Amino acid sequence: MADSIPFLNALRNTLNRLHNTQTRQLLLLQGERTWQETLTTALCGEHNTLVLAGRCPSLPNWQSAEAHCLKHWLGQSFDFALIDMHDGLTADQLGIVAGVIRGGGLLILWLPPNWPETVNPHNQRFLNTPLKPENTEPWFYRHLAKCWQTDALWLRQGQAVPANQQIPITRLALPTPPSFPFGAATLEQHKAIAAILKVAFGHRKRPLVIHADRGRGKSAALGLAAVQALIQGKEKIAISAATPEQTQSAFTHALDWLKNTIAPELSNLHYRPQQLCFDWLGQRKSLDFYAPDHLILTSVSCDLLLVDEAAQLPMPLLQKLLKKHSRLVFASTLHGYEGSGRGFGLRFAKILHQQTPGWQALHLQQPLRWRNNDKLEHLINQALLLAPETAQASPEPDINIKIFQLDKSALLAELPTLFGLLVQAHYQTRPNDLQQLLDSPNPVWVAYSQQTAVGILLSQEEGNLTADDQDSGQIHGHLLPQLLSRQYGFRAALNWRSWRVMRLAVAPEWQGLGIGTQLVRAWQEAAKSQQVDFLSCSFAAEHRLLAFWCQQGLRPLHLGTHRDKASGSYTLVMIQTLKRKTDCLEQIQQQFYQQLPTLLSEELSDLEPDLLHALWQAAPALKPLTTAQQIEIAAAFATQQRSFNSSSGFIRALLAQHPAQLARLDCAAAQPLSDKCFKNLNWAQLAHAHKLTGKSAAEKAFRTALQKFLTLLETD
């Protein structure tokens, strides 16, 4: 404890200053856990503290958070928060925890003695088998250390206390906060509430989009405006978000305002999670949460729809909400844990201009839970690039683009600009994407116009797995090789070397100039020079993107049958073979197109017409499969080496071509085959029809019956 006393005195002075200014700070404690725990316990005392650590200090008023449940703590406020980085860190965790600390508080990080040159076990999620975190360099940690070198409070065990921390600070009187109508805490929040009420009572089809950084009170404004609209005449208001927890702040502020302001005039006030009801002037009023997909699939009638954290929702879903509801407010975090709203704003603005040209936008800048010039907010924004740079130069008439492959040190030197390109191109870029960019050993190509980076391509190396890797049963990553193995029974893909495009981004003002094509060509040439077997890309299926990749020489190979939660689109996989031995991949392409009509009649019945047209335009000349090939596919499915979605059409054709063998099966075996392939029962229906326990049992019964059928074919 003795070696902690000087630090503790200095820290108490710091807390005094933070309290006086209602700003927050980042405290880095670097050393052994025992020293860190002693200092933290003495410092935190009775303060309300959120702890993300494998080993919690002995604090009287702390709450432990599981890493995978951090989102459930959003909307709550703590004096302090602690992250134990001896156990590693993800960028998402850092962003979330920093946002729950109120003004005057500290974010405390326990750093190992030799940090940043330490292994981060959380990096395993970014690495393909057989790579381990210890096989990579800690570039993300180095980036954090560089960002925090000067402005963070960094205390190292055994070193002298920084001189500037030993000066006592006199307590200052905080100014009295101004008062605004409707429960607003700032003038900006009051304007936001007024703008929401204008949507509720003004002209239809004029939605409002509210952008704000974290802690600006946008969610609170939704709740406060909702109760004002209800009191002023509306009867039912709906609020939606990706998760119910994201609307908790809106409900809390709505309830508090009702209780503290007009409680005597209310009757029958009732609140439960995700619903607030009360009687006002003889009318029943309600604020209700609805999941976004529920709003699409059912006819929910409401006077006003509020959508919080809209950047987390798929763009097609937001478009459908625009069509179904005439009074809408969308709120989105501009820079936050959920991913940057900058790309969302660019994309959604185009849709709003087309569908509702009278839409309005509002940006909130004044923080509520802390003051302006907050050190912690600055340090986290800088570390996670939550306000990344973007290319400012405009294209010249005769542009000269040069492509370079960057190593990690060069990437780090231009990180804000390069990450800014990725943010603009994808509306759900998250802090973890920054960590993956730095800590995964994947090659990066950058397009420059003079000294300005205007495009970037990220590639992932896949395949080239040894027999031991394949037999381990725990292959991580390798999206394309594993898809070929699981969906099409093609295990050889695990052995071959392949490269997959992870991201391709060009600055918006530089698009349409062939820069993306030049980046792809550089990537393709590098792959050929390194004897790569095939190239691939996967993306949210859209006809213009499909046409672009066809122009680069890639062809469709696989289309997922479930819409992606983020994009709302089916995932399309395209490949380009670079060696003769990969001719068998062309056979899989043939099989995909021959199976496509079956999928269109079932899982892909709602496929967009322009996408389907583009798929047919990219189709190869189809060659009918022989009976032997059909039997091979059916046998692969029967032995669980291939999926039903890639095999069903061939199995159906095989059964139809051999009715005599099907008739020779006993009824118990023949019926599942007929019900599934000819009556098109889904697995749940098949299980019910044959009194089976569920989908797995239905699939097992079908495979068993199919094996019996194939045995009859072999014996004839």
Residues 144-165: tens digit of each pLDDT: 999 999 899 999 988 866 544 4
Indicate if the pLDDT at residue 231 is higher than 90. yes
Same domain, 532 and 472: yes
Quote the CA–CA distance of 495 and 462 in Å, as a whole number: 9
Whether residue 427 is found in the same domain as residue 570: yes
CA angle 565, 568, 572 (to 5 degrees): 100
Q: How confident is the model at residue 45 (pLDDT cuts 50, 70, 90)?
A: confident
Count of helices and strands (H, E) across the chain: 26, 21
Residue 18, CA distances (Å) to 7, 185, 378 in order: 16, 20, 15
Residue 4: burial class (beta carbons within 10 Å; 0-12, 13-18, 19+): buried
In this structure, what CATH number is given to the domain that contains residue 54? 3.40.50.11040
Token reading at 369: 């839970």
Q: What is the mean pLDDT of residues 106-110?
A: 95
Do both 241 and 262 map to the same domain?
A: yes
Decide which of 364, 392, 416 is a domain's last residue. 364
pLDDT of residue 168: 39
Cα distances (Å, whole numbers) of residue 606 to 210, 543, 544, 612: 32, 15, 18, 10
Q: Domain limits at 86?
A: 2-165
Q: Are 195 and 362 in contact (CB under 8 A)?
A: yes
Which helix (H) or strand (E) segment holds residue 463: the answer is: strand 452-463
Q: What is the pLDDT of residues 275-299, one digit of tens each?
A: 999 999 889 999 999 999 899 888 8
| pLDDT confidence of residue 173 | 44
Mean pLDDT of the residues in the chain = 88
For residues 256-280, average pLDDT: 90
- CB of 406 within 8 A of CB of 56? no
Q: How crowded is the C-beta side of 464, counted as CA atoms within 13 Å? A: 14
Residue 1 reports pLDDT greater than 70:
no
For the segment 72-96, the average pLDDT, to the nearest whole number, is 87
Residues 286 and 139 in one domain: no
**What's the confidence (pLDDT) of residue 503?**
93
| C-alpha span between 432 and 339 (Å, rounded) | 9
* Per-residue confidence (pLDDT) for residue 391, from 0 to 100: 54
Say yes or no: 662 and 638 in one domain: yes
SS3 663: helix
Are residue 91 and residue 117 in the same domain, yes or no?
yes
Q: Are residues 124 and 208 located together in one domain of the fold? A: no
Q: Are 160 and 199 in a shared domain? A: no
**Residue that terminates a domain, selected from 617, 637, 671:** 617
Asked whether residue 174 is domain-assigned, the answer is no
Does residue 380 lie in a domain region?
Answer: no
Domain-located, residue 392: no
The least confident of 226-235, 471-480, 602-611 is 471-480
**Structure tokens of 42?**
């003495």
Count the alpha carbons within 13 Å of 550 in the hemisphere toward its beta carbon. 17
- Find the CATH number of the domain harbouring 233: 3.40.50.300
Q: pTM of the full predicted structure?
A: 0.85
- 134 and 262, same domain (yes or no): no
* Residues 13-37, mean pLDDT to the nearest whole number: 90
In a domain, 373, yes or no: no
Query: What order of strands is seen across the sheet that includes strand 49-52?
Result: 62-64, 49-52, 78-84, 101-111, 25-30, 153-156
pLDDT at position 214: 80
Residue 535 has pLDDT above 50, yes or no: yes
pLDDT tops 70 at residue 566 = no
Q: Same domain for 602 and 697?
A: no
Burial of 135 (0-12, 13-18, 19+ CB in 10 A): exposed
On whether both 321 and 456 belong to a single domain, the answer is no
Residue 388 lies in a domain: no
The total number of structural domains in the chain stands at 4
| Helical residues (DSSP H) of 270-407, grouped into ranges | 292-297, 315-324, 342-355, 375-384
Does position 260 have pLDDT exceeding 80, yes or no? yes
CA–CA gap between residue 309 and residue 245 (Å, rounded): 11
Contact 573, 559 (CB under 8 A): yes
Q: Indicate whether 517 belongs to any domain.
A: yes
Average pLDDT score over residue span 10-32: 88
Q: CATH number of the domain that 445 lies in?
A: 3.40.630.30
Residues 393-408, mean pLDDT to the nearest whole number: 84
Give the pLDDT of residue 56: 64
**Residue 453 belongs to a domain:** yes
Could you say which of 364, 383, 412 is where a domain stops?
A: 364
Q: How far apart are CA 566 and CA 338, in angstroms?
A: 12
Residue 167 pLDDT grade (very low, low, confident, very high; cuts 50, 70, 90): very low
> Taking a C-beta distance cutoff of 8 angstroms, is the pair 351, 359 a contact?
no
**pLDDT for 479:** 93
> Which residues, at least 6 apart from 350, have a Cβ–Cβ distance to it below 8 Å?
none
Whether residue 75 lies inside any domain: the answer is yes
**194 with 113, same domain?**
no
205-236: b (≥16 Cβ within 10 Å) or e: ebbbbbbbbbbbbbbbbbbbbbbbbbbeebeb
Mean pLDDT confidence for 169-175: 42
What HEC string does 569-633 produce?
CCEEEEEEECCHHHHHHHHHHHHHHHHHHHHHCCCCCCCCHHHHHHHHHCCCCCCCCCHHHHHHH
What is the percentage of the chain residues whose pLDDT exceeds 90?
Answer: 60
pLDDT at residue 390, as a whole number = 59
pLDDT computed for residue 589 by the predictor: 94
pLDDT digits (tens, 9 = 90+) for 664-674: 888 888 899 99
Read off the pLDDT of each residue in 492-520 and give the average, rounded to a whole number: 93
Is a pLDDT exceeding 90 seen at residue 41? no
> What number is the average pLDDT over the span 537-544?
92
